[in-house]
Copies of this chain bind each other. A is one copy, B any other.
Amino acid sequence: MQIGLGFWASKTLLSAIELELFTELAKHPENLDAIQGRLGLHERSARDFLDALVALGMLERKDGTYQNTPSTDLFLDKAKPSYIGGILEMANHRLYPFWGGLTEALRTGKPQNETRHGQEPIFETLYADPARLREFLSAMTGVSHGGNMKIARAFPWADYSTFADIGTAQGDLVVQIAEANPHLTGIGFDLPVVEPIFEEYAARSSAADRIRFEGGDFFERGLPKADVLLMGHILHDWGLTDKRMLITKAYDALPEGGALIVYEALIDDDRRANAFGLLMSLNMLIETDSGFDYTGADCQGWMADAGFRESRVEHLIGPDSMVIGIK
């Protein structure tokens, strides 16, 4: 029952983010009447909504005054750079309704998003609309930020001087790595339409002078040359042929001794522990024509086939792990 009706808690949190409740409460704690007025909530619903968020651990309530928890204040206040709610904003207005078509997706193998009615493939669709593009790129930062910070510290960066992030979106991974490693210069590589959004994000970084954007389509050309190439939540968007093609292009672009870091919510090799990784693969079913998530062993096999001489898997945080391949 808790799992089957779990969408109640899920949608309650997503609506709180849509209503910017955590952003409002980050300014100052409020009582029921004040929140009801500021968010435009109906008197029938406001108290149950807020107390449900208390019971879910998303708010605290003391003497009738509601305030953020330390976590929701840090991660769900839009005014803070630590905001990771972008993925949940997108989940609220895109993924929640699209997942309503899961049974059809399971039967047909076909995506259930905007592409369902014969439009362009998903990235063309998302990237053609500036508002949707911005939301999508921000969502990708939200889902990656924790892992990005870990990669910036856990990888032996002292051995390298240049890196390029393939499919960089807003560029959060580039920013985190460059800020934590002052000897590095980095490239964010993505479709040209992403450039202004990357530049806006990167300009706020203390490492902005060691970061640059390179526009291009990895189906049309080779990858930028650098000592280390990174692909975070990229390979899972594509079918097996394209996954192998991208790993081979990375191999070709790296020097001897260079490294490819592939990072995802990697499924455990026995496919029975990382529920989030398996569900993310179903999300690729909902969202893409042929994408799927995979295990560390799967990826190590593809790297070996492409010529990488060694590889290893390291856990990052939560459901995320990285596969490091050495040329």
Contact = CB atoms under 8 A, between A and B. Distances in A.
Contacts of A275: 9, 52, 55-56
A276 to B, nearest CB: 8
Given A41-B106, A106-B45, A282-B45, A10 B10 contact: yes
A175 interface: no
A254 B75 CA distance: 54
A119 interface: no
A100 interface: yes
Nearest to A273: B55
Interface in A1-36: 1-15, 17-19
Interface residues of A, number: 70
- The number of times this chain is found in the oligomer is 2
A274 B55 contact: yes
Nearest to A6: B10
Given A40-B107, A106-B15, A285-B44, A278 B4 contact: no
A96 B98 CA distance: 11
B282 A7 contact: no
B278 A3 contact: no
A249 to B, nearest CB: 24
A254 B153 CA distance: 71
Contacts of A102: 11-12, 14-15
A44 B44 CA distance: 45
27 contacts: A1-B143, A2-B276, A3-B10, A3-B56, A3-B58, A4-B10, A4-B14, A4-B88, A5-B10, A5-B88, A5-B91, A5-B95, A5-B276, A6-B6, A7-B96, A8-B99, A8-B282, A11-B102, A15-B103, A40-B107, A45-B105, A45-B282, A47-B271, A48-B282, A48-B285, A52-B282, A56-B275
